[in-house]
Amino acid sequence: MISAAACGKIILFGEHAVVYGRPAIAVPVTQVQATALVQPRAHGLTIHATDIARTVKVEPHNLIDPLAAIVNLTLAYLNCPRPQLEITVHSTIPIASGLGSGAAISTAIVRALAQFAGRPDIAPEVVSQLVYEVEKLYHGTPSGIDNTVIAYQQPVYFLRGEPIQTFNVAHPFTVVVGNTGIASSTKKAVSDVRRGWEIDPARYEAWFDWIGAIVQQARSAIEAGTLDRLGPLLDQNHVLLRELDVSSLELERLILAAKQAGASGAKLVGGGRGGNMIALVNDQQREAVIAALKEAGAVNVLVTEIQ
């Protein structure tokens, strides 16, 4: 019996614009995780996704179903004879909420199969590449940021098509994550933004440029430890995401509640239209913001330290 895990992630700055060649900053969230348990069985190869009560019989060459695809892609990379296995996956990461649940499940499966095949040292860049192929099934035209930050388990400055850049967090800071409880399709949100971009490319390119500039300022602030600059940058990024029409009433309610409770900045994370938001807090603000988010309807609240 072999098990492996993968953490969740949040995009601090830059979602959606990252699809159009602008940078983004993403960080791991270790408080939530996906796990994959691999054990021999008498016949066949199956995956049990316990959280969604789904069982998938993994047929050879199935690259359509995401769970089957990540198994087949990984076995092909490992050049491993087709084993008789039962894979059970479980995740504490909310589905369709901007925390990278799909990429984390895929990553956990890759790591577990690599251990099974005697390859526990599989490189993060390989894991990321395998998972990215499955991200296409989930999201259509993914940025690649989810698979990257989850595979590397480090804060990353991500620019599509460029080498991965990790960077120094000069002073740890705390982010509260509030879940609207509304599952949202990243694939649809990304598709809708693309449709708007096709209709009015000049306007959308200007918004993307502005978001890219915010990302660069945020990286500079994080590396310099000037955390007082981050809150306003979060707010500015959210305003632009609202212009892209990927916010929602539920997200706006939580963001307003966090701000009124003292958070220095807040924004949606991920695809939007539901899922999660984040708020930047210090030790004095944290409990008040947590209480305010719950009062405003957050179905789950977690706290993560970025370091």
- The CA R_g of the chain, rounded to the nearest whole Å, is 19
Nearest to 22 by CA among 112, 105, 143: 143
Q: Which residues of 105-144 are buried (b: 16+ CB within 10 A; e: fewer)?
A: bbbbbbbbbbbbbebeebebebbbbbbbbbbebbbeebbb
Side-chain-facing half-sphere of 50: CA atoms under 13 Å: 11
The two most distant CA atoms of the chain are separated, in Å, by 59
Nearest to 26 by CA among 172, 148, 113: 148
| Sequence-ordered list of residues with C-beta below 8 angstroms from that of 151, at least 6 positions apart, any chain | 6, 107, 124, 125, 127, 128, 131
SS3 78: helix
Nearest to 178 by CA among 51, 281, 26: 281
Among residues 51, 121, 146, 245, which one is catalytic? 146
Q: Is 146 a catalytic residue?
A: yes
Dihedral through CA 105, CA 110, CA 112, CA 117, nearest 10?
A: 160
d(CA 53, CA 63): 21
Would you name the residues annotated as active-site residues?
Answer: 146
